[in-house]
Chains A and B, each alone.
Chain A
Amino acid sequence: MRETDKLLYVDGISVSFDGFRALNSLSLMIDDGEMRAIIGPNGAGKTTMMDVITGKTRPDSGEVVFDGRHDLRALDETDIARLGIGRKFQRPTVFENHTVEDNLLLALKGKRRVFDTLFARRATSETTRLKDLLELIGLGTQRGILAGRLSHGQKQWLEIGMLLAQDPKLLLVDEPVAGMTDAETETTAKLLREINKTRSVIVVEHDMNFVRELGVTVTVLHEGSVLAEGSLDQVSANPRVVEVYLGR
């Protein structure tokens, strides 16, 4: 396994589905404390890349190293989550039949084995942490209602809150502002910047205004590999990027 001081080191990963190459020798490096935006047309392989990092999909080849010492290819989703990688799905996924507060409670960092949860009692430290999280994601007044009754945007925030509750080092956030109003999008950008003060974040998003608002390095994916990398202005001036976006 490679020696690296990067928080996330992805090198040359390829993934095929029945002969179709979803990822083609993709490489990506994320520094500790960095926020990175990933853009790319539909089917570029953004979600598949997150699947590989989180252990859902095994790459056919290539290396994925987390925190300089964990070979993620050898671990499953649960192990990787416990190492400190949180993931928000493209389609907001929260526990609809639990209250907002219970959603966060289940996500809170802590023991997760059967006999731990069977006899778990809520600690005061947990109550405090829940209060902070609810405030941060702006759902304090909704704490007691079922997550299924939240609006689409609120569900996205709740899911981000659940990632935070896990206390991860790295957050993978897949299309957080899809279907949000402009005001909600702005709040989300603020939330992610706040989160980025203490953690690394990878955001996949199509919304260019949102990406601009984040003001971070952008990686453009196309047909399973990196097409360009740099500031948003740099990559939007790149003729190959323009071609990929306009050629569709």
Chain B
Amino acid sequence: MIVARALFADNRRLVLCIAVVLIAGIGLPLLNLLTPPTSALHVPTYVVQLVGKYLCYALLAVAVDLVWGYCGILTLGHGAFFALGGYAMGMYLMRQIGSRGVYGNPLLPDFMVFLNWKQLPWFWQGFDQFWFAAIMVVLVPGLLALGLGWFAFRSRVTGVYLSIITQAMTFALWLAFFRNDMGFGGNNGMTDFKEILGFSIQSGGTRAALCFASALALALGLVVAASVVGSRFGKVLVGVRDAESRVRFLGYRPENYKLFVFVVSAMLAGVAGALYVPQVGIINPGEFHPANSIEAVIWVAIGGRGTLVGPVLGAVLVNFGKTWLTGALPEVWLFALGALFVFVPMFLPNGVVGLWRSRVKRAPARADKTAPLARPAE
């Protein structure tokens, strides 16, 4: 009911977005598989791979927007939740390699043999089972968000300080995962995956299925986000963003609202990371780099925060630009990104979606969703 109302009553654009995501997620891989490379309709494999990656980024962006756009928590650490989901999937994929590794150890991944480890660490137990890894993909990011959020929100850390804490979290994990003795492959991370659920990770069919799974995850993520923000809970959330003390003096506990949405968002980011890893074939500590988290915020800002379609658009547009520029003019990419982050908030405070909205002259009827980037402390 809630879902139906949120989706169909007042957000036709979101329905359209979900439809496009699903059609692209099914159609492009099918065209890749079913048409011969000579056909005009043929979609090359690398495009399917790219689209799959973009869809994961888009899900990460939706997660960021849920906390930033709707609750005013400017997270600079969501890349950590994405990476943790990715590592959980990577551990499953590593254990699927079995005795086909370079050292041929049936139980231990290559990097452990190389480090002279004799047995599997306790936290690697269970990862040979897909269902277990799948649970960890949401559980680990969710628990980290719960712990961090519990302390931060209860002690009423807001604004810039909260952003710094989230950034520090991903920075700490970045450093930690570089260490060999952490047991996650150190600097090199995990790669050379062979199979997922018994299917060869390199095969066209698996790639197609992963691309489709990413589209499905994004669509479901959008539905979850829409039902959260479309409920009365979502209204309280926007209240927390715009006037937290008013919410408090009405008898709500803003910290619980923030905590809930932060945990849900971290879980979505974890799922995005888990789908990303088998498609790119590697996970290493680089995914924890603070810059990744900042980039995700930029996607949301560019697409339009506080809307659900905006982050999807932003993630796809920016990453398409990145792919294109890194190919055509590799030196320029970072400057382009920096320039975007400076100029978009100045000239497009509501992102691409806002531009479209004012073009079609619906602005007066709709909410002016702009709130200051970070609210001043009370």
> Contacts A95-B238, A95-B242, A97-B242 known; A114 to B233 CB distance under 8 Å?
yes
The answer to whether B250 touches A162 (Cβ under 8 A) is yes
The answer to whether B233 touches A106 (Cβ under 8 A) is no
A114 surroundings in chain B (CB, below 8 A):
233, 256-257, 260
CB distance from B254 to the nearest CB of A (A): 9
> Contacts A117-B236, A148-B368 known; A106 to B231 CB distance under 8 Å?
no
B253 surroundings in chain A (CB, below 8 A):
78, 112-113
The answer to whether A98 touches B239 (Cβ under 8 A) is yes
Q: Is B161 an interface position by the 8 A CB rule?
A: no
CB distance from B223 to the nearest CB of A (A): 15
The answer to whether A106 touches B235 (Cβ under 8 A) is yes
Partner of B369, one of A56, A97, A112, A121: A97
Q: Is B367 an interface position by the 8 A CB rule?
A: yes
Partner of B371, one of A82, A87, A97: A97
Closest to B370 in A: A97
Write out, one digit per residue, whether chain B residues 244-287 have a CB within 8 A of any chain A CB (1) or not (0): 01111111110011001000000000000000000000000000
Q: Is B2 an interface position by the 8 A CB rule?
A: yes
Partner of B236, one of A106, A146, A148, A162: A106
Q: Is B12 an interface position by the 8 A CB rule?
A: no
The answer to whether B251 touches A166 (Cβ under 8 A) is yes
The answer to whether A98 touches B233 (Cβ under 8 A) is no
The answer to whether A81 touches B251 (Cβ under 8 A) is yes
The answer to whether A94 touches B251 (Cβ under 8 A) is no
Q: How many residues of A contact B (CB 8 A)?
A: 31
The answer to whether A94 touches B243 (Cβ under 8 A) is yes
Q: Bin chain B's interface residue count.
A: 20 to 34
Q: Is B118 an interface position by the 8 A CB rule?
A: no
Bound together, the chains give a CA A106 to CA B2 distance in angstroms of 17
Q: Is B359 an interface position by the 8 A CB rule?
A: no
CB distance from A3 to the nearest CB of B (A): 27
What is the count of residue pairs linking A and B with beta-carbon distances less than 8 angstroms?
Answer: 83
The answer to whether B367 touches A118 (Cβ under 8 A) is no
Q: Is B66 an interface position by the 8 A CB rule?
A: no
Bound together, the chains give a CA A166 to CA B236 distance in angstroms of 15
Q: Is A210 an interface position by the 8 A CB rule?
A: no
CB distance from B136 to the nearest CB of A (A): 25
Bound together, the chains give a CA A95 to CA B244 distance in angstroms of 10
Q: Is B362 an interface position by the 8 A CB rule?
A: no
Bound together, the chains give a CA A146 to CA B257 distance in angstroms of 23
Q: Is B232 an interface position by the 8 A CB rule?
A: yes
Among residues 119 to 135 in chain B, which have CB atoms less than 8 Å away from a CB atom of chain A?
Answer: none
Bound together, the chains give a CA A192 to CA B369 distance in angstroms of 33
Among residues 223 to 246 in chain A, which have CB atoms less than 8 Å away from a CB atom of chain B?
Answer: none
Partner of B249, one of A87, A118, A119, A148: A87
Q: Is B228 an interface position by the 8 A CB rule?
A: yes
B257 surroundings in chain A (CB, below 8 A):
114
The answer to whether B232 touches A120 (Cβ under 8 A) is yes
Bound together, the chains give a CA A166 to CA B1 distance in angstroms of 27
A28 surroundings in chain B (CB, below 8 A):
none
Bound together, the chains give a CA A54 to CA B236 distance in angstroms of 20
> Contacts A98-B235, A102-B235, A119-B2 known; A81 to B367 CB distance under 8 Å?
no
Bound together, the chains give a CA A98 to CA B236 distance in angstroms of 10
Write out, one digit per residue, whether chain A residues 101-125 have a CB within 8 A of any chain B CB (1) or not (0): 0100111000011100111110000
Bound together, the chains give a CA A93 to CA B236 distance in angstroms of 14
Q: Is A77 an interface position by the 8 A CB rule?
A: yes
B233 surroundings in chain A (CB, below 8 A):
114, 117-118, 120
Q: Give 20 new A-B contacts, CB below 8 A, not counting A112-B252, A114-B257, A114-B260.
A: A54-B249, A78-B251, A78-B252, A81-B249, A81-B250, A81-B251, A87-B249, A95-B235, A97-B368, A97-B369, A98-B235, A98-B238, A106-B239, A112-B250, A112-B253, A117-B233, A120-B231, A120-B233, A162-B250, A166-B251
The 6 A-B residue pairs with the shortest CB-CB distance in the complex, in nearest-first order: A81-B251, A117-B233, A120-B232, A118-B233, A117-B232, A82-B251
24 A–B contacts, CB within 8 A, in A order: A56-B245, A77-B248, A81-B248, A81-B251, A82-B251, A89-B246, A93-B246, A95-B239, A96-B242, A97-B367, A97-B369, A98-B235, A98-B239, A105-B232, A106-B236, A106-B247, A106-B250, A112-B251, A113-B253, A113-B256, A117-B235, A118-B228, A120-B233, A166-B251
